[in-house]
Chain A
């Protein structure tokens, strides 16, 4: 897939004469050294990466790491001192002012940390702001704004003022305003950081849903690792203006690039990062057309108390226990007549935190199935506990994915 956004060797220096600072930067000096020698602040330091269509790309870092500066370069609210940012193969840095306005109107919209709603405009007027700027006919923009408000669940509030809504609702308006312009790229600058945790989670779910439905390319800034892990397809970790690690949430969790990242991720709740596929074991299974004696034999040999039953296409049908097998032999029944069909299943990408509940209510190991209900593995309690304890041996090889 071709990248949708490409960031090439981008640096930003804040100060009146960035030239001297750029030279030092070329020599590989650090942010502190440059500040000391030239008085210029290095905001972003030689950043390179690509973002693919439909991706949620999270840029994560503590305050002062340059992430807010970086996100503002995608729509040139802040111009890079040096480097290129290609959006759809067009360099936004060298664009004329009028072309830049077009791109801002049609390709990139933005959601802000403190919502940045216009206090003198109603919810509807706020939502249609982008379209108003584009001089769309009133009827069109009303219609589109109403649709966007419906997507974020704010239908019925359109004639209120922002000050009449709660923080969570205000940010939904911010989101609706960005969606109404129907741009491919959504920039979200700490969009949920000002919200309280429960509402933040709702908004994250909603964002994932919107992304699923509309296939936006989302560039998301956050300082919250949990949030990054939850919504990010890939995460770029920033420190002092540089990207120190870029990868999927698992890669960052499991193979921290350096001590900084390691420290960063050590407090993370692993149950929200690891999935069933990370800890599942090879399942013992038997074809449904086999006899109960075969099943009993396998169980005896492997030391299991039950075994999963599949059809010829490996589709999970149920599970049979040793007692059920013996009963079938005594009464001369087939496996399908005695097996338990109520088997707990989870998809491969289920988070460990979501497994707990299933595990607590079932005597059987949990089976992991793919979208065609074929069994891919089983999860036993010991593996979950081992993984949560940080025991990397109990994890499957991540690189093989």
Chain B
């Protein structure tokens, strides 16, 4: 069977491209709207010292869910503050509140519409099913293209992922209103809007609130995912901990998320029937909260000095003082941070996300010839596809050239001597790797691309396999990160090993787990260790449990990269 693959993915690609271009103005409007709203909420939440917000939240939780939970709120939030996650917590809270705001704003009307119109319900239900089951990561990809990297695509993805319960429960709540009450309402001559507002919505309120509660919890569960595209907050802390295999930090940040979840859950769950409603009526409490918010917002507008971010550098203005980074745990990011210190780029932010998100952002800016500044490294296919340049690094912060090393587990030499020899002798050039990478980024299957390169370079491959005894079907587990360089090299070496009688299993993981896996012997080898600088931290912590077979590629480079049309040449120009 050799059927042509239906180019579904390509169709989606071109559709997304088309949408990106056609609705650019609309997207930038939404981006500004969401960003603006988020900033207002962050400002309001952080108007006083942490203790102010802690007390307000504790009173609110206590009022709705009895005093022991109020005390719990105080203790847990003080702990969060003490651990140093307060700013992240505010960010996360703001992200969830903004998502929640849009979920309520759109979810309830859509739910009402579904309840009133069978056709709408029949159309919306499968869309909701789709939205809920499609892995949330998938929304991130077009979100970056539409809304750029940062917090906005994260909020949009959370919104899409989390809106379903609000719509479903609103629909359900309205449809569950007893039929005789609907008849009674009709019999006295109500219009449909009178029926909706006087009978259906009041009776559906408990169900609708349960839906909103679920939606908000789902939105909160998305904060880690959202951090992949650069959303700040506790999610980014967790992501950073994962990519650095930092158990302690992961636990602290995770615990903070749990606290936030409990607080939000209790407030939204019990707001309809607060525990102390008899003491203070709900209207009074809601008014006080409303007044506090307005006062805080006004206070902000009056006291906030216009913090002029840059010192007037044109490139800073046009890029919003953002350097688009990659995974927070990457050595490149650590270098970039040091560089920002060295070059005194205090007003710049380094946006954390992922390499894929960075490339998406670059693609977007490049197609519009907008200025963009990224952290980059070569070999990378983007240098083949776009006209890019490294900014000069007079201080040498990014170090000189790097090498990609092959690391194997201890004992591989004894267990699979042939594979060990091949891995040891594996070595190629930047240009070789880029050939594979360009094919892959052009849509070719990595295995095919690897095969193609091997066929064209039999002489090189012969050097690697020289003197290696053939395997006997032993399984070799290779581990790699989803960087384009590693996808290329790992697939090539995997193919070569397979041709020499080994069965190869590939696992794609994050950088931290990649090192940890080889070190603890659960996988056999990796060909993706960037040394001495990019993966320095990981290498230092695991090197005693690893065998370093030396570089398989030399002459790599890290740095700050801009498209050639950007009119600066040195990192110093950013100041």
A interface list, Cβ under 8 A from B: 72, 75, 77, 100-106, 108-110, 112-114, 116-120, 129-130, 132-134, 177, 181, 187
CA distance A110 to B203 in the complex (A): 21
- With both beta carbons as reference points, the residue of chain B lying nearest to A114 in the complex is identified as B180
Residue in B187, B189, B198 with the greatest tally of chain A CB atoms within 10 Å: B187
Q: In the assembled complex, which residues on chain A have CB atoms less than 8 Å from the CB atom of B185?
A: 129
The CA of A103 and the CA of B198, in the complex, are separated in Å by 20
Given pairs A77-B183, A110-B188, A118-B203, 10 additional interface contacts (CB within 8 A): A103-B189, A104-B187, A105-B189, A109-B187, A110-B184, A114-B180, A119-B203, A129-B184, A129-B198, A187-B187
Chain A hits for B183, CB < 8 A: 72, 77, 110, 112, 116
Alpha-carbon distance between A108 and B181 when the two chains are bound, in angstroms = 17
Cα distance, A387 to B430, chains bound together (Å)? 117
Using CB atoms, name the residue of chain B closest to A129.
Answer: B188
Q: In whole angstroms, what is the CA distance A367 to B184 when docked? A: 49
Tell me if B508 is interfacial: C-beta within 8 Å of chain A. no
Q: Name the CB-closest residue of B to A130.
A: B188
Q: Counting CB contacts under 8 A, is B186 at the interface?
A: yes
Could you tell me the distance in whole angstroms from the C-beta of B373 to the nearest C-beta in chain A?
Answer: 57
A221–B57 Cα distance when bound, in Å, is 56
Instruction: Give A101's nearest chain B residue, CB to CB.
Output: B189
Neighbouring A residues of B191 by C-beta, 8 Å = 101
Interface presence of B125 (CB below 8 A): no
Is the CB of B84 closer than 8 A to any CB of chain A? no
Asked if A120 and B180 sit within 8 Å, CB to CB, the answer is: no
Determine if B199 is an interface residue (Cβ-Cβ < 8 Å): yes
Most buried by B among A114, A130, A133: A133
Contact: B181 with A118, CB < 8 Å?
yes
Whether, in the assembled complex, B441 has its beta carbon less than 8 Å from a beta carbon of chain A, the answer is no
State A120–B173 Cα separation when bound (angstroms).
15
B-side interface residues, number (CB < 8 Å): 17
Q: B189 contacts which of A104, A112, A120, A187 (Cβ < 8 Å)? A: A104
> Cβ of B32: which chain A residues have Cβ within 8 Å of it?
none
- A208 CB to closest chain B CB (Å) equals 23
Which 3 residue pairs are nearest across A and B when measured between Cβ atoms? A104-B189, A105-B189, A116-B184
Query: Least Cβ distance of A324 to chain B in Å?
Result: 64
Bound state CA distance, A72 and B180, in angstroms? 12
Residue pair A116, B180 in contact (C-beta under 8 Å): yes
Complex: A109 Cα to B180 Cα, angstroms: 14
A110 to B188 CA separation, bound complex (whole angstroms): 8
- Contact A134 to B184, CB < 8 A, known contacts A118-B199, A120-B203: no
The answer to whether A75 and B187 have CB atoms under 8 Å apart is: yes
Number of A-B residue pairs with CB-CB distance less than 8 Å in the complex they form = 60
Q: Which residues of B contact A119 (CB under 8 A)?
A: 203
- Pair B199/A130 contact, Cβ less than 8 Å: no
Residues of A within 8 A of B199 (CB): 118
Contact with A along B173-204 (1 / 0, CB 8 A): 00000101101111111110010001100110
Which chain A residues border B186 with CB–CB below 8 Å? 77, 104
Which partner residue on chain A sits nearest B183 by CB separation? A77
Instruction: Return chain A residues, CB-CB under 8 Å to B190.
Output: 101, 133
A177 proximity list for chain B (CB < 8 A): 188
Q: How far is the CA of A20 from the CA of B186 in the complex (A)?
A: 30
- A107's closest neighbor in chain B, by CB? B189
- A116:B189 contact, CB within 8 angstroms: no
Closest CB in chain A relative to B477 CB, distance in Å? 62
**In angstroms, how far is the closest chain B Cβ from the Cβ of A119?**
7
CA distance A119 to B178 in the complex (A): 11
Q: Which residues of B contact A129 (CB under 8 A)?
A: 184-185, 188, 198
Are A181 and B188 closer than 8 Å at their CB atoms?
A: yes
- Return the CB mask of B102-132 against A: 1 if under 8 Å, else 0: 0000000000000000000000000000000
Contact with A132, one of B180, B181, B198, B203 (Cβ below 8 angstroms): B198
Residues of B contacting A110 in the complex (Cβ-Cβ under 8 angstroms) = 183-184, 187-188
B406-436 vs A, CB cutoff 8 Å, 1 = contact: the mask equals 0000000000000000000000000000000
Q: List 23 A-B contacts (CB under 8 A).
A: A75-B187, A77-B183, A77-B186, A101-B189, A103-B189, A104-B187, A104-B189, A106-B189, A108-B187, A112-B180, A112-B183, A112-B184, A114-B180, A116-B180, A116-B184, A119-B203, A130-B188, A133-B189, A133-B190, A133-B194, A134-B189, A181-B188, A187-B187
Give chain B interface residues in 145-189, CB to chain A under 8 Å.
178, 180-181, 183-189
Which of B189, B202, B203 interacts with A130 by CB under 8 Å? B189
Q: In the docked arrangement, what's the CA distance between A362 and B555, Å?
A: 128
CA distance A110 to B180 in the complex (A): 11
Instruction: Assess the B202–A102 pair: CB atoms within 8 A.
Output: no
State in angstroms the CA–CA spacing of A187 and B183 once bound together: 13
The CA of A101 and the CA of B191, in the complex, are separated in Å by 7
Interface centre among B181, B183, B188, B199 (most CB of A within 10 A): B188
Residues of B within 8 A of A187 (CB): 187
Asked whether, in the complex, the Cβ of A116 is within 8 Å of the Cβ of B181, the reply is yes
Complex CA gap A108/B194 in Å reads 18
Q: What residues on B are CB-neighbors of A108 within 8 Å? A: 187
List residues of chain B with CB within 8 A of the CB of A116.
178, 180-181, 183-184
Interchain CA distance A187-B186 in the complex, whole Å: 13
Q: How far is the CA of A101 from the CA of B194 in the complex (A)?
A: 12
**Which of B183, B194, B202 is most buried by chain A, counting CB atoms within 10 A of its CB?**
B183
CA distance A82 to B185 in the complex (A): 25
A120-B191 Cα distance, complex, nearest whole Å: 19
Closest B residue to A119 using CB positions? B203
